[in-house]
Amino acid sequence: MPREIVDFLKLNPGDTIDFIIDSDGRVVVQLAKIQVQSLKGILHRMESISIEAMNAAVKQRVY
């Protein structure tokens, strides 16, 4: 990724980005973020899973 874009998005090593196609067909690049509010109440429902399963879930980016 061009340095100008990395600097503009203030990306750090390990950050992830989303590519979004808008209604005009333009591709938008943005820093991927998780809304903290969406995590409310999930701890009591969580079961133990492997690191591999966690990494796969992160890659799917299901919110």
Maximum Cα–Cα distance across the chain: 43
Q: Kindly report the pTM of this predicted structure.
A: 0.40
Report residue 12's pLDDT band, with 50, 70 and 90 as the boundaries: confident
Q: Which domains does the chain have, with CATH numbers?
A: 3-60 (2.10.260)
Q: What sign for the dihedral angle of Cα 53, 59, 60, 63?
A: positive
- For 24-63, how does the pLDDT look when each residue is reduced to its tens digit (9 = 90+)? 899 988 877 765 556 666 666 666 778 888 888 888 865 4
Q: Supply the DSSP string of 1-62, one letter for each residue.
A: --HHHHHHHT--TT--EEEEE-TTS-EEEEE----GGGGTT-GGG-----HHHHHHHHHHT-
Instruction: Reduce the DSSP state of residue 63 to 3 states and report it.
Output: coil
